[in-house]
Amino acid sequence: MVLQKNRFVSIGLRMLINVEALNMVESVGNVVRHRVVPYVLRIRPGHYVLRWVPAISGEALAHAYQLHLAEVAKSRGLPVCYWCSRGEFVKHFDLLFWLRTMDALPYSDEEKRIAQSYASKQQFSLSDIQDIERAIVSSCVVEDVCGFLVQQGPTKRTSRFYASFALPTEESVKSGAVALDNQFFVRHAPEAEAKRATMSEVRAAAQAPYYVQIGSAIYGVTMNFEIDGIGISSVTSESIVSDDEAKKRKSAALDALKEMLDTKMFGAKLTRFNPVIDYEIALAIAQRNVSLTVSPPTKRFEEFIEHSVVRIFRALKDVSDAKARVFLWAPTSDIAREVEKILNDVESKLGEEYKKMIESGRLGIELLVSPSIRDFIDRIKHSLGLSR
C-alpha cells in the first residue's frame, strides 16, 4: 500500500542511554548541570508523585536533525541558505540583517530581493507575507521543513518536523532505573599552575577541577512529520516548488532522520561523553487523511504498542477515506517476539472488524527485525512513495 496525498508520519522511539551529557544547561561554579524536568508519575488512580528526572529537549534534538538535513540536502544539490549550511539556524530572523550583509555573503537572488524590498517596510499585506515565505522556502530546504519566524510581517512558517522532549519511561522511573550523577574531573597541570600563580595578570587557573553531571535512563521520544506540508505555502496552501523538487525534499527530510538515528550523532558533549545508546523499539504510523500521533513511548512497553495500534484503528473507523500503515522495528528477535505477542493480543481484542480493515488494505501492520534502524525509515519512505 502506497499512501498518496495528505500524509502524516508519527514516530515513537524508546532508547536505553547510559552515561550521557546530551543536553547540558547552565554552569554553577565548576559544575556543568544536565537538563532536568519535573515529571508527574501516576502511582495509582487518583494518586500522583512528582519526580525530577534527566531529559533531552526537543530543541536539542531538532538542532541535530537540522544539521543532518542541511548536509543531506547539500549532498543532493538541494538549496540550503548560507547560515543553515553553517549550522547557525538564525532562520532569516530579520531581513535588515540580510540587507546589511548581502554584499559580503553568498545569499541567493531571492534572499537579496526580499531584503531590499521588505527590510525597512512598516506595513505588510498578506501578499507581502506570502512573497517573503515563498522566497525563503525556495531558497532553503531546512527552513522549508523546520520553519522560521521573520520579524518583517511578522512572517511565520510552522515546522513540518515535530520533536518532543526525550523523557525517561514510566516503568524506569518507578523502578528507580534513572540516575543523575556528578562526575569529578581535573585538568592536571601542576607545573603550569605553579608558574601561573606568580602571574597576577593571568586570572584563569591552569590546573582546574570541574564536575560534569551525567544521566542514564531509558528514554522515550516522539517525532512527527507533516509530510505534505513540505514545499507548500502556509498562507495559501499552494505549491511553492515543483512536484519533483517537493518529492526530493520529502525524501531528504526522512533520510536526515535516518542519518541522525543511525549515526547516533545528536546532543552535546559527544567528544568526551559519547553515550552508549541502544535502541529498544520503534513504532511509526504513516497515515493519509488523518493526523494521529503515536501513544507516548514513555508508557509501559506493552501500552505504547497496544494503544498506538488501537487508536489508529479507531481513527480509521471514524474517517472513512483515511488509510494508515503501522511499522514496528525491533533490533533483536527476542524483542520481536514480545511485540508479536502484543499484536496478537490486540487482534484478539478487536476481533473481526480489525481483521477486515487489514484485509481491505486500509490498515497495514508490519514488524521489521533488523540491527539497522535504517531499514525502518526506508520502509516508511517506501510506503509514502518516496524511495529514491
Mind listing the pLDDT tens digit for each residue in 11-51? 999 999 999 999 999 888 888 999 999 999 999 899 999 99
Q: Kindly report the pTM of this predicted structure.
A: 0.94
- What would the mean pLDDT of 101-115 be, rounded to a whole number? 97
User: Quick check: 373 and 282 in contact, CB under 8 A?
Assistant: yes
**Which among 52, 7, 122, 119 is positioned nearest to 135, based on CA atoms?**
119
Do the domain assignments include residue 316?
A: yes
Average pLDDT over every residue of 200-226: 93
Mean pLDDT (whole number) for 131-145: 98
Neighbours of 344 (CB within 10 A): 10
The reply to whether 346 falls in a domain is yes
- Residue whose cell numbers read 527552513: 143
Structural Rg of the chain based on CA atoms: 24
- Residue 165's pLDDT is 98
pLDDT of residue 92: 97
When pLDDT is averaged across residues 168-191 and rounded to a whole number, the result is: 94
- Does any domain span residue 20? no
Domain membership of residue 132 (yes or no) is yes
pLDDT at 208: 87
Q: Is residue 171 part of a domain?
A: no
CA distances from 204 to 29, 31, 33, 42, 208 (A): 14, 16, 21, 48, 9
If DSSP codes are grouped into helix, strand and coil, which group holds residue 358? helix
In angstroms, rounded to a whole number, what is the distance separating the alpha carbons of residues 146 and 66?
Answer: 7
- Residue 2, pLDDT above cutoff 60: no
At 376, the pLDDT band (50, 70, 90 cuts) reads: very high
Q: How many residues does the chain have?
A: 388
Is the predicted pLDDT of residue 5 greater than 90, yes or no? Answer: no
- Cα–Cα distance measured from residue 279 to residue 329, given in angstroms and rounded to the nearest whole number: 10
- Strand partners of residue 219: 15, 168
Task: Give a yes or no: residue 47 inside a domain.
Answer: no
Q: Would you say residue 4 has pLDDT above 60?
A: no
Distance CA(343)–CA(158), nearest Å, equals: 35
Residue 137 lies in a domain: yes
What is the percent of the chain where pLDDT is above 90? 91
Confidence at residue 313, expressed as pLDDT on a 0 to 100 scale:
98
Indicate whether 281 pLDDT > 80: yes
Q: Say how many domains are in the chain.
A: 1
pLDDT (tens digit per residue) in 302-356:
999 999 999 999 999 999 999 999 999 999 999 999 999 999 999 999 999 999 9
Q: Residue 102: its pLDDT value, please?
A: 96
Considering the domain boundaries, does residue 265 fall inside one? Answer: yes
The residue segments making up the domain with residue 371 are 7-15+58-163+218-383
The predicted model gives 170-183 an average pLDDT of 95
